[in-house]
Structure 1
Amino acid sequence: MAIFTGSGVAIITPFHEDGSINYDQLKKLVDYHCENGTDSIVICGTTGESATMTEEEHLECIKRTIDFTAGRIPVIAGTGSNCTATAVELSREAAKAGADGLLVVTPYYNKATQKGLIEHYKAIAREADAPIIMYSVASRTGCNIEPATVAALVKEVDNIVGVKEASGNISQVAKIMQLTQGDIDLYSGNDDQIVPILALGGKGVISVLSNVAPRETHEICAKFFAGDIEGSRELQLKAIPLINALFSEVNPIPVKKAVSLMGMEVGGLRMPLTEMEEANAQKLAQAMRAFGIQLA
């Protein structure tokens, strides 16, 4: 059984003015998603600015999110690192804290060969008592998980169950599904490719869009699973201008701006990320209004 089906929000991390994590506001965000159709909380991913968290902050954020969610929907903890030992430690502790699953990105900067990726993921899986979703996003990490590698890991390691595919390469996704005979939990890592990936047998999306349009992102998936392919496709296409605006600058700069435009106090960004350019912010606000999102 999949950890979740539907829309998992790659949730932002709110900060105080001094840059510390605002846990009170994080609880409000978790409640907002539980009440508005989101099917899973994905904490400490790219969108959550995990790259600038200390290990202590990282684990505290995961533990608090599990507490805040209180079993209402699954919590998937981002525990990847370019250092295998660090990824093992984060994954082990997140599993002990009660995470329903782990999202483990490929090593970045130092990269890895496909053999290295196999050993990296096996080392984490041996130590972490939770199902693992691999995360392939070469545009940010410089490291792609080849379809044969995905298939080998899913077949050989019991608790490696899925992949978040953000390569943007539909042919690669199709090859993964062919090599695994569909026996894998496949999630779209790109909000503009939800329907194509569901059509290939995907279980859902791990979404940036869901931060500002949780109900609609859920419905793209729910309609598809219910057989309303046309309705799912219409929602997907309607969201494209908003999705483009949410990626007009590097993620999570635009989405954090978008959530603040909705009146939620989520604070700024940690360096080296900087505030959104005003021209892009205006286009983002316009796209949000056009989609039907009410601004504060």
Structure 2
Amino acid sequence: MLIDLNTGADVNRAIHDKISDGELPIFTGIYAATLTPMHEDFSCNEEELARHCKDLIHRGCKGVILFGTTGEGPSFSVGERKKAIQNLIKIGIDPQKVIIAVSCCAIEDVINLTSVALDQDCAAVLIAPPFFYKKVDEAGVIGFYRRIIQEMNHPKLKI
């Protein structure tokens, strides 16, 4: 059971109720963690990424996950990821079939990329816990997510 550290409430019950009420989506099916094609200079090859995503969805994936560890997300700048996300949606990839991994070392970058994903109407974001420093304790991990949630000022944010 998950307990809200602020209120002591049963988080599992709250999540179940939000799913039942249609407030939170249920992700079913396969969401492929995509590779990120690159040019020789290691910049994102957006045309090939779009083709790859369309092909995965055409072959039966419910959606795609972009810029996670499989897609070498941390190797790309926030600007590169932002541009690629916007271009994918612009060329016709259904944003509700796209989940964006927004993990970064800087919390401001996580917030920036999350805002981009929400602005583009993407299905969800994935935020890895702090990964740069070793042995971050539970309070540090909770503080990391708490700060992101508190600083996110976006009407589409659902947790």
Q: What is the TM-score normalised by the length of structure 2?
A: 0.72
Which AA in structure 1 matches 2:67? Answer: C
CA distance in 2: counterparts of 1:47 and 1:28, whole angstroms:
17
Instruction: Confirm or deny that 1:104 pairs with 2:123.
Output: no
CA distance in 1: counterparts of 2:70 and 2:155, whole angstroms:
25
Partner of 1:91 in structure 2? 114
CA deviations on 1:36-79 (whole Å, 9 max, x unpaired) are 11011111111111111111101112222333453275211111
Structure 2, unaligned runs of 5 or more: 1-23
Partner of 1:4 in structure 2? 27
The answer (yes or no) to whether the contact 1:43–1:65 under 8 Å persists in 2 is no
CA distance in 2: counterparts of 1:27 and 1:103, whole angstroms:
20
The answer (yes or no) to whether the contact 1:7–1:40 under 8 Å persists in 2 is yes
The answer (yes or no) to whether the contact 2:111–2:148 under 8 Å persists in 1 is yes
Partner of 1:116 in structure 2? 140
CA distance in 2: counterparts of 1:3 and 1:42, whole angstroms:
16
Which AA in structure 2 matches 1:40? Answer: G
Task: Indicate the RMSD between aligned Cα atoms, in angstroms.
Answer: 2.1
The answer (yes or no) to whether the contact 1:7–1:39 under 8 Å persists in 2 is yes
Partner of 2:38 in structure 1? 15
Question: Per the alignment, do residues 107 and 129 of structure 1 end up closer, same or farther by CA in structure 2, a change over 3 Å counting?
Answer: farther
Question: Per the alignment, do residues 3 and 129 of structure 1 end up closer, same or farther by CA in structure 2, a change over 3 Å counting?
Answer: farther
- Give 4+ residue runs of structure 1 displaced > 4 Å after superposition: 128-131
Q: Which has the higher contact order (CA 8 A, sep 6+)?
A: 1
CA distance in 2: counterparts of 1:72 and 1:30, whole angstroms:
11
Question: Per the alignment, do residues 83 and 113 of structure 1 end up closer, same or farther by CA in structure 2, a change over 3 Å counting?
Answer: farther
Rg comparison, structure with higher value: 1
The residue correspondences of 1:227-266 to structure 2 (distance < 5 A) are: none
More helix by share: 1
The answer (yes or no) to whether the contact 2:36–2:72 under 8 Å persists in 1 is yes
Which AA in structure 1 matches 2:80? Answer: E
Structure 1, unaligned runs of 5 or more: 132-158, 161-296
Q: Shift of residue 125 of structure 1?
A: 2.7
Instruction: Confirm or deny that 1:64 pairs with 2:87.
Output: yes
State the SS of the aligned residue for 1:76.
strand
Point out the more displaced range, 23-32 or 120-129. 120-129
Instruction: Confirm or deny that 1:35 pairs with 2:80.
Output: no
Which AA in structure 1 matches 2:46? Answer: Y
The answer (yes or no) to whether the contact 1:62–1:94 under 8 Å persists in 2 is yes
The answer (yes or no) to whether the contact 2:95–2:122 under 8 Å persists in 1 is no
Question: Per the alignment, do residues 96 and 26 of structure 1 end up closer, same or farther by CA in structure 2, a change over 3 Å counting?
Answer: same
Q: What is the TM-score normalised by the length of structure 1?
A: 0.41
Identity %: 26
The answer (yes or no) to whether the contact 2:32–2:61 under 8 Å persists in 1 is yes
The residue correspondences of 1:171-186 to structure 2 (distance < 5 A) are: none
Q: Shift of residue 89 of structure 1?
A: 1.9
Partner of 2:6 in structure 1? none
The answer (yes or no) to whether the contact 1:13–1:21 under 8 Å persists in 2 is yes
CA distance in 1: counterparts of 2:116 and 2:59, whole angstroms:
29
CA distance in 2: counterparts of 1:130 and 1:45, whole angstroms:
22
Q: Shift of residue 110 of structure 1?
A: 1.7
The answer (yes or no) to whether the contact 1:15–1:21 under 8 Å persists in 2 is yes
CA distance in 2: counterparts of 1:59 and 1:81, whole angstroms:
13
